[in-house]
Amino acid sequence: MTDKDARYVPLALPAGASTTERRGFTRLCNLLADAQLDSEVHVDHAFWFTAAGLGDSYNMPRLAAAAHTVIDLVDQGWTIEVDKYGPLLCPPHTDDDKDSEKARIRRQEHLRRDAQLRQPSVRRFIASMERSHQHGDRLVSIFNLMRDGRELASALEAHPEATDTIQPYVQIVDSARTCELTGFKLHDIWRYFRHTWSNAYSTVPGRSMPILIRDGATEHHAVIGLAAISSPVVQIAERDSWIQWDTKQFVATVEAAPTDKVARWLAQRIKSQRCEIYVEDLLRDGVLQPNDLNEPSLDVVARLRADAERHRGKHHRGGSIREARKIEADAWVARAETPLFRSKRSALLAETLEIQGLLGGYLGERPTAAGLRKALADPKAKTQIGRLARRARGERVGTVIADLTVCGALAPYNALAAGKLVGALAVSPAVLGAYRAKYSRPSEIASAMAGRPITREARLAFIGTTSLYGTGSSQYNRLFWPASVMGGDDESRMGFYELGRSRSFGTSHFSDTTVDALVRLSEHSGGLVRVNSLFGEGVSPRLRKVRLGLAALGWPSNELLRHGRERILYGVPLVENVRDYSLGIDSHPKYLLDPLPRDDGQAVAVWWFERWGRRRADQGAVREAMRLHRLVRPVRHAARVPALQQDELLPVDTRGNLAGSR
């Protein structure tokens, strides 16, 4: 990117900032513009605050939020200039060199990860896992769950044809379950190894199912890799286009070939949306009259929308948040009548009744393709078809679609391309069966909207994921296998299809200190608390809080939230009828595999070893790379959580180190 191509973002403190704040911010920007920063060392916020003489910024929330934000952006490679009009920031460009681009992304991710690893609670957790403890008649530690690379390399070299040197299997992580071989909680094992990733460990809202891939060939069943199936990102254009359930795409397809089947589905969608909304309080308060549900008018739609706005404001004022958090999990009527869900119910009912009034007449009692064709010829009715499809997608995206949010192998197995093994096992029958068993229960959102238990579909149709680097992903490249490996048809194949590339928005390039400062500014500026981190408010509260903070500064959030990272999108279709089942047009999935697990992943493991593992094990360079991961004191193993420079993790006692030796 040349100076001519550079796109600078002007930044200035908002109206109301004092002269002291403006001068302090300008001093900071001038210092950062002139600084020669070491790309290998993260910028210290406290150092630059002191250097710029910002003083006690706690009482100057505008200055604090602006300063922390600029420091983080400069730390991530943004360039800064100060002209007569004020500071200007230019985002980093994507490096054409793959290694340089990967290094830039790792640096971006390490910003939050390293800050997390320095937290006292995290340090104590890591030390407790590395410290030996008595289990049965043995002393064990987390090191017992790592495989010594020298031992594995020697075993593969001595017996190259053996199929039992590595014996992978799937273990679903349940917070209540304990590892019988070590006494550790399964979730603690998963969390420890997750801290070895390049990006920070975080919990995912909504559905989440962590997975361990263990090695039954070792005494304590060492961990081969980690995976996690979680609630998906609601809107991804490339994924939605591939599935063919994007609203415009869907309407165009139906318009080209309307069918009785789609007509019946549209009518059923209107009915189910209306019946799954609790209305007792709306009738009691006079917002609705009994006949309004059958003969909706523009007046009732307007009343419902006004009611939604009224209760949304009440929720944002925050007075009812504490009471909402006290409500029992399955007290659906009480939850439905909170201001948050009252607002959501009134808004959805207004939308549903409006759709019913504009589209219902075309569908009639017995919906047909002919009626659907007439509806498509009416622009207003056609719009309602799109609204129904969009609502169906929003409802089912979190139930029949999932994201593979964690997927990777640990050392020394990663040298054998075991990341491909983990990827295949993460979409195997063992995982699909566990997912369905775990989530065949009432949906919290749907049940709170209906005031009664509502169970959503839990049979997955599609699993998506993204590469960490936009330059490529060797883990998912060419990752296809015969469907028969998972009990499917001999003639079919399954795997990770590349869906496209996406430039993402997010907050990974902002430190927790910066996010806290932006949140504090938004709370001082807005008056209303618009993000209460209450379940049901919506996805990604951190992102929405940062947006509000940047808006309070008057800065362009879309520009500053663009972390300059291009990612490759992948998807694994699990059924033939992906679009129709995902939308609910088809009530049953046509699986490409046998969704009922017959093993814990052994058939997939055999395929992986023959296709990938054995070939890698035959290479001397690979075996030598594996031998670098040792479990003798001092433990030098890439599956160990890294100690940070300048701030070492708590030491591990001698017995803890020796406990993992072989």
pLDDT digit string (tens) for 9-54?
A: 888 888 888 999 999 999 999 999 998 877 666 778 889 999 999 9
- Mean pLDDT across the stretch 283-303? 94
Query: Which range, 55-64, 98-107, 347-356, 540-549, is most confident?
Result: 347-356
Question: Of 380, 396, 412, which residue sits at a domain end?
Answer: 396
Handedness of CA 275, 278, 282, 285 (dihedral sign): positive
State the Cα–Cα distance between residues 452 and 172, nearest whole angstrom.
Answer: 30
Q: Are residues 499 and 414 in the same domain?
A: yes
Distance CA 634, CA 581 (A): 54
Using DSSP's 3-state secondary structure scheme, residue 497 falls into strand
pLDDT one-digit tens code per residue, 345-370:
999 999 999 999 999 999 999 999 99
In a domain, 4, yes or no: no
Q: What is the pLDDT of residue 429?
A: 97
Q: Whole-angstrom Cα distance, residue 393 to residue 352? A: 15
621 with 483, same domain: the answer is yes
Helix, coil or strand: residue 308: helix
Q: Are residues 426 and 573 in the same domain?
A: yes
498 and 617 housed in the same domain? yes
Asked if residue 2 is part of any domain, the answer here is no
Q: What b/e sequence results for 313-351 when a residue is b if at least 16 CB atoms lie within 10 Å of its CB, and e otherwise?
A: ebbbeeebbeebeeeeeeebebbbbbbbbbbbbbbbbbb
Give the CA angle between residues 251, 253, 255 to the nearest 5°.
65
pLDDT at 643 over 90: no
Tokens representing 641 are: 């959580």
> Are residues 513 and 531 located together in one domain of the fold?
yes
Tell me which of 396, 431, 460 is where a domain ends.
Answer: 396
Q: Which residue has the tokens 């997010």?
A: 506
The count of structural domains within the chain is 3
In a domain, 647, yes or no: no
Distance CA 552, CA 527 (A): 11
- The average pLDDT across 162-181 equals 95
Per-residue pLDDT at 541:
63
With 50 as the cut, is the pLDDT of residue 657 above it? Answer: no
Strand ranges in 312-429 using DSSP code E only, listed in sequence order? 401-409
126 and 252, same domain (yes or no): no
DSSP state letters, 528-590: S------TTS-S-HHHHHHHHHHHHHT--HHHHTEEEEEEEEEEEE-BS-HHHHHHTSSSS--
Domain assignment of residue 110, yes or no = no
Whether residue 445 lies inside any domain: the answer is yes
464 and 596 share one domain: yes
Q: Are 148 and 631 in contact (CB under 8 A)?
A: yes
- Which of 545, 560, 575 is the last residue in one of the domains? 560
- Range of the structural domain that residue 58 is part of: 9-93+507-560
Q: pLDDT of 218-267, one tens digit each?
A: 999 999 999 999 999 888 889 999 999 999 999 999 999 999 999 999 99
**Whether residue 185 sits in one domain with residue 41:** no
Rounded mean pLDDT, 161-189 = 95
